[in-house]
Chains A and B, each alone.
Chain A
């Protein structure tokens, strides 16, 4: 598989504040990668570097082999970019904006755009600025689909959308990407949306990458065990196999990549008295919070 995106040893600071150091990311052709992280973990920073709107302190990002700081017009034409908040030229209406963008892309195909627009209850001359957030998201998505890019970079596509529009956005996007072998690099605050959309997950915490793998592998290998400790003073957070340890009084949530047998053997070997031991089913959101912590 070819890597469409490759970031090598990416390091960035805002002033003296380290965002991340020696970050390495790769996105294979045809895959949908979701970048997850808490606020301030560096998601938008990464998106900005990928689009050439931010120069990293060191390291480089390549898209189709070109440094993102100097993308050629031809390569930019292969990338569809959704700005956080579905920002578009809001002084235009849906006809004007379609006419504007069609002049830049030789493969412009307005069929999917008008298909999406037909679902919106907007007046033909209605300015984008007077549309709801959900309607604006459909305009932005429709324009990207009409551009027919090979790579889609979506910055927090779910921001401000109600559940119906989020579902519409995701289902349309996934069907399109899989049918046309498109590559997607996306971030979202709403992790439950990502579960429906992505193939691979990249989880960032402050200053580092916690995980990058297929989302199914992550959901299979990463586990949550709950139990009650007889002695509420015991703290397992420093154990090497513990990814995260959350405790409220004597109730414990232990997150790990180890198996149930391993955890049980450990508790037995260390004579840690406990009751109600069980493995929990997790959603991607549960796993994300389990890995990164609640704070």
Chain B
């Protein structure tokens, strides 16, 4: 049963997963090309000075939004095909508890997302250690974690929004999602989110069950 669910979900998202992982790696690569360029032309001690004492975030800019884009992309690739022609009925009709089926789908999507993020995060941290001091990497690590959490939350919210049967509720969830996600993307000094990263993690985990609400409403025939 697990194998069948994984097989279906993989067929839906495989190209998105591969393309978005490559996108993530390209962005990480671009960041460190610039770091390498800056070190080469401005000398390492100047670059480090700017990062440590001027609050320059070498990872700033587009990286902030990439985990979010990946989370939304995987969510759309996985759940939009389920609502086209109300195909989710096929899933609910399988000889398996409906909530269990949804959690199997969600767990697989989450693990795929985790894999992509792990590759991105690992290459980012590895390259950071290669070019920069441990203290700088530690602060960068604290700063980028909320962006990945935003990606996970966005994935869970996409599932909630896509499975919601009524358009006006979808719009409402979308607005709530935007305000929620903004918290994770707030401007911060490097390492500034250290005291609240665990709270953001708890919030993200709480959003993981939200799709059950939409699925329940679908099964009750809300329209």
Contact = CB atoms under 8 A, between A and B. Distances in A.
Nearest to B3: A103
Contact of B4 (A53, A54, A101): A101
A99 B5 CA distance: 11
B3 A76 contact: no
B92 A52 contact: yes
Interface residues of A, number: 28
Contacts of B95: 73-74, 76-77, 104-105
B94 A89 contact: no
B85 interface: yes
A88 B93 CA distance: 12
26 contacts: A52-B92, A53-B89, A53-B219, A53-B221, A73-B94, A73-B95, A73-B97, A74-B95, A76-B94, A77-B95, A81-B93, A87-B89, A88-B87, A89-B81, A89-B87, A91-B11, A92-B8, A96-B11, A100-B4, A100-B7, A100-B8, A103-B3, A103-B7, A104-B94, A104-B95, A105-B95
A244 interface: no
B220 A51 contact: no
A131 B72 CA distance: 30
Contact of B7 (A14, A77, A83, A99): A99
Interface string B65-95: 0000000000000000100011101101111
Nearest to A79: B93
B5 to A, nearest CB: 8
Contacts of A91: 11-12, 81
Given A53-B89, A83-B89, A89-B87, 20 more contacts: A51-B93, A52-B219, A53-B219, A54-B221, A73-B97, A87-B85, A87-B87, A87-B89, A88-B87, A92-B8, A92-B11, A96-B11, A99-B4, A99-B7, A100-B8, A103-B7, A104-B1, A104-B94, A104-B95, A105-B95
A132 to B, nearest CB: 16
B207 to A, nearest CB: 26
A69 to B, nearest CB: 8
Interface string A224-257: 0000000000000000000000000000000000
A89 B8 contact: yes
B96 interface: yes
A53 B91 CA distance: 12
Contacts of A53: 89, 92, 218-219, 221
Range, interface on chain B: 20 to 34
Contacts of B81: 89, 91
A103 B220 contact: no
Given A54-B221, A83-B90, A103-B4, A73 B96 contact: yes
Interface of B: 1, 3-4, 7-8, 11-12, 81, 85-87, 89-90, 92-97, 218-221, 223
B108 to A, nearest CB: 14
Contact of A83 (B86, B94, B219, B221): B86
In order of increasing CB-CB distance, the 9 nearest A-B pairs are A103-B4, A54-B221, A77-B95, A73-B95, A87-B85, A76-B95, A55-B220, A81-B93, A100-B4
Contacts of B87: 87-89
A67 interface: no
Contacts of A103: 1, 3-4, 7
B90 A87 contact: yes
Contact of B93 (A76, A85, A89): A76
A154 to B, nearest CB: 13
A91 B218 CA distance: 22
A48 interface: yes
Contacts of B220: 54-55
A79 B92 CA distance: 12
A3 to B, nearest CB: 21
A51 B11 CA distance: 26
Nearest to A96: B11
A52 B93 CA distance: 9
Nearest to B82: A89
Contacts of A87: 85-87, 89-90
B184 to A, nearest CB: 32
Interface string A48-61: 10011111000000
